[in-house]
Structure 1
C-alpha cells in the first residue's frame, strides 16, 4: 500500500496512538482536552499525504533538502496554525518538536509492516514523507517562534507603559508635596495616589520576580507556618482595594480556616485573583472572596460578574504572558495586566499541593476556585 493512501485510510488509528504519546510530554499537553490536543493534527496528516503524491521538481527537492523551501505561514497551512496554537497553549519548542518526532515514528511503524518488500517506490514514498513532515515541522516552528516574539514584545510594551503610569503619578505627587502651603485635604488625596501607585508597581514587580524564578528553574521557596486564611484573605482584599479604590470588595468566611501555609505566598495568590476580578467586573456589582474551611481542604473562591470569558481563553488562562480576552466587554479597564498574575497564582497553589480552576458563564459570572488540602488533621 502506498504511504499516502495508508495515511488517509488509517488517520484515526495514527492520531489515537499519537495522542497517547503526546500525553506523556507533561504540562500542558497532559492537561488539554482531546479536541484541544489533537487540534490540527488530522489536517496536518492530510496535507502530508497530499504532499507525498504531489509532483515536485529537482529544484524543489533540492530546496527541501537544503532547508530553503518557502515556509507557508498563511491560514491555509494546518502546520502553521498548529505552531501558533501550541505557543498560546503554553507548549515549549521542545514539546512541539517532540510531537512531530512521535508522529513520524508512529506513521512509519504502522505502515512498514504492510509492505511485503522494500522497493524503489517504497523508498521514494519514505523520502517524500520525511520531506513533508520536516516541512510541516519547519512551518510550525516558524509560526511558534514568531508568536513567541510577538508575545514577548507585547509583554515588554505593556510593562513599559504600565510602570510609567504609576511612576508619573508618584513623581507628580512628590512635586506637589515639595511645595509649601498645600491644604491638608490635598495632601491626603496626594498620599492616597502614591499608595495606589506603589501598590500597583509592587504587584507587578512581585509577579515579575516569581515569573523569572520559574523560568530559570528555581524552586519556589515556601515558609510553612500556622496561619488563619481569613486574615490572609483580608490582607489581600486591602491590597486590591488600594489598587482599585473604585471597586467594592466583600469577604465571606466560614468553618475552620487555620492550617499550615505560606501566608505571604497565599496573599499573593488571592491579591492576583482579586486584582484580575476587579479589572473585568461590572461597575454595579462587588467582587467577592469566600473562604470555607472543610475537614479535608480549605476552599477559597473569587467571583466577579462581568463579560463571559470564552472557552478558548479559559483553556490558556493560566499560561504566562497571555492577555485575557472577554466577550461583550462594554467598559474600559485599566491596562495593568502583564499576563503573569494568574500564572503565578497557579504556581503558588500547586506548590501548596492544591489546585486552581476557573469557570465563566452569564448567570454565575467568573469564579476562580482555589482548593488547598489541609496539612494538619482537624481534632
Structure 2
C-alpha cells in the first residue's frame, strides 16, 4: 500500500495518535478541546499525502531540505503554528508534535509493508520531506507571532509608562515654582503618588511575569495566618490610588483570618480591582466580597459594565490580552500591560486554587478560590 493511500484511508487512526500525544502537552493542552488539539492536523496530513504523489524537481527537493517555501502563510501548517502560539504551546512542544506524528505514521504504515522496495524508500523520503516542510512553515509562523508579541509588549510598556511619567514631571515642575495654594499642592502630590503607584504596579507585574516564564517556576509563597479584612482594605487602597475616579466597596463574611500569602493575595486582589475599575461603569461601585470558610477562602470582585465577549473570556488570563474599556470610549485614557489578570491566575495557582470569570447581563464577576493550607514550618535552627 502506498504511503499516501494509507494516510488518507487511515486518517482517523492517525489523528487519534495525534490527539493522544497532543494531550500530554501540559499545561497548554490541559483545558483544550479535542477540536482545538486537532486544529488543522487533518488538512496538514492531506497536504502531505498530496505532496508525496506530486512530481518534484531537484530544485524543489533542495528547497524543502533547506526549509524554504513559497507558501504565503495561509497553509494548514502555517495556521497550526499560529494557533499553537496562541494556545501557549512552547516551540519545543510544537516541534515534538511533528516528531511524534512522523513516528506514528511510519510505524503504522510499515506494518502493511511486506518488502522494502525502492518505491517504499522513495515514499519514506518524500514523506519526511513533506513533514519537514510543514514543520518549517509552522515554526516560521510561530516565531513571527512570538516576535510580534515581544514587540507589542515593548510598545505597550513604552506607551503606558509615558502617561504617569508625564504626570509626575508636570506635577514636579508646578510644585517647584512656589506660591501654589495648599489645596492645589495636595492635589499635585496625590497625582504624583497615583502615578508612582501605577508605575510600581507595572514593574511588579513585569517581575512576576518574568519569574513565571523563566523555567516555568511557580510563584513562591510565604503562608501564614493573615487578616482577611486587612488584605482586602490594602488591595482597595492600592486600586483606589491608581483609579481615583472609581468607587470600591468591601463586603466580608465568615472567619476573620485565613492561612495564605497575604502580600501575594493583596496583589491578586489589587489586579482584579484595578481591572474592574478600568472596565466597569464609572458611576457604579466595584464590590470586593470575601468569605473565609473552613475548607477554602473565596474572593469575588464584581463590577457593572459592558459584558466581556465570550471569545475573550476563554483567554482573558493570558498575557498581553487587553480589552477596550467604557472609559476609553468616553475619552478617559486607561492603560494596562495586559499582565494583571495573568499574574492573578499565577498567584491563585501557586496557592493550589483557581480563578474564573463570568460576564453577562451587564455584570462581570471574577471568583478566586483558595483552599485552606497550613503555614509552612519555620526553618530549624
> Is the pair's TM-score, using the shorter chain for normalization, greater than 0.5?
yes
Residue by residue over 1:262-318, the C-alpha shift from the partner in whole angstroms, topping out at 9 and shown as x without a partner, is 111111111111112222223343322221222211111222333333344333322
Within-5 A mapping of 1:209-228: 209-217=207-215, 220-228=219-227
- Distance between the aligned counterparts of 1:205 and 1:132, measured in 2? 45
Between 307-316 and 9-18, the greater mean CA deviation after superposition: 307-316
Q: Secondary structure at the match of 2:47?
A: helix
Q: Secondary structure at the match of 2:24?
A: helix
Q: Give 1:324 shift.
A: 4.2
Q: Could you tell me which residue of structure 1 aligns to residue 156 of structure 2?
A: 158
Q: Could you tell me which residue of structure 2 aligns to residue 111 of structure 1?
A: 109
Residue by residue over 1:210-249, the C-alpha shift from the partner in whole angstroms, topping out at 9 and shown as x without a partner, is 1122233355332221102232122111111111111222
Q: Does the aligned pair in 2 maintain the 1:320–1:339 contact within 8 Å?
A: yes
Q: Could you tell me which residue of structure 2 aligns to residue 12 of structure 1?
A: 12
Q: Does the aligned pair in 2 maintain the 1:40–1:82 contact within 8 Å?
A: yes
Q: Give 1:333 shift.
A: 6.0
- RMSD value, Cα: 2.2
Q: Could you tell me which residue of structure 1 aligns to residue 95 of structure 2?
A: 97
- Distance between the aligned counterparts of 1:271 and 1:135, measured in 2? 47
Q: Does the aligned pair in 2 maintain the 1:3–1:111 contact within 8 Å?
A: yes
Q: Does the aligned pair in 2 maintain the 1:313–1:325 contact within 8 Å?
A: no
Q: Does the aligned pair in 2 maintain the 1:89–1:319 contact within 8 Å?
A: no
Q: Could you tell me which residue of structure 2 aligns to residue 250 of structure 1?
A: 249
| Pair 1:248–1:349, CA change in 2 (3 A) | same
* TM-score, structure 1 normalization: 0.92
- Distance between the aligned counterparts of 2:338 and 2:33, measured in 1? 23
Q: Give 1:193 shift.
A: 0.9
Structure 2 residue runs without a partner (length 5+): 376-381
Give the one of 175, 184, 187 matched to 2:185. Answer: 187
Q: Could you tell me which residue of structure 2 aligns to residue 143 of structure 1?
A: 141
Q: Give 1:197 shift.
A: 0.5
Q: Could you tell me which residue of structure 1 aligns to residue 379 of structure 2?
A: none
Q: Give 1:325 shift.
A: 6.6
| Pair 1:366–1:110, CA change in 2 (3 A) | farther
Q: Does the aligned pair in 1 maintain the 2:218–2:350 contact within 8 Å?
A: no
Q: Does the aligned pair in 2 maintain the 1:301–1:370 contact within 8 Å?
A: yes
Within-5 A mapping of 1:59-70: 59-67=59-67, 69-70=68-69
Give the one of 364, 372, 379 matched to 1:374. Answer: 372
Q: Could you tell me which residue of structure 2 aligns to residue 204 of structure 1?
A: 202
Q: Secondary structure at the match of 1:24?
A: coil
| Pair 1:17–1:343, CA change in 2 (3 A) | same
| Pair 1:41–1:285, CA change in 2 (3 A) | farther
Residue by residue over 1:169-208, the C-alpha shift from the partner in whole angstroms, topping out at 9 and shown as x without a partner, is 1111111111221112211211121121112101101011
Residue by residue over 1:316-335, the C-alpha shift from the partner in whole angstroms, topping out at 9 and shown as x without a partner, is 322223334789x9555634
Residue by residue over 1:26-55, the C-alpha shift from the partner in whole angstroms, topping out at 9 and shown as x without a partner, is 111222222222222222222222222222
| Pair 1:170–1:265, CA change in 2 (3 A) | same
- Distance between the aligned counterparts of 2:332 and 2:140, measured in 1? 34
- Distance between the aligned counterparts of 2:303 and 2:90, measured in 1? 32
Q: Could you tell me which residue of structure 1 aligns to residue 378 of structure 2?
A: none
Q: Give 1:9 shift.
A: 2.4
Q: Could you tell me which residue of structure 2 aligns to residue 365 of structure 1?
A: 363
Q: Could you tell me which residue of structure 2 aligns to residue 305 of structure 1?
A: 304
Q: Does the aligned pair in 1 maintain the 2:18–2:38 contact within 8 Å?
A: no
- Distance between the aligned counterparts of 2:228 and 2:272, measured in 1? 15
Q: Could you tell me which residue of structure 2 aligns to residue 173 of structure 1?
A: 171
- Distance between the aligned counterparts of 1:233 and 1:279, measured in 2? 18
Q: Does the aligned pair in 2 maintain the 1:222–1:262 contact within 8 Å?
A: yes
- Distance between the aligned counterparts of 1:99 and 1:326, measured in 2? 38
Q: Secondary structure at the match of 2:97?
A: helix
Q: Secondary structure at the match of 1:227?
A: strand
Q: Secondary structure at the match of 2:301?
A: strand
Q: Secondary structure at the match of 1:271?
A: helix
| Pair 1:335–1:119, CA change in 2 (3 A) | farther
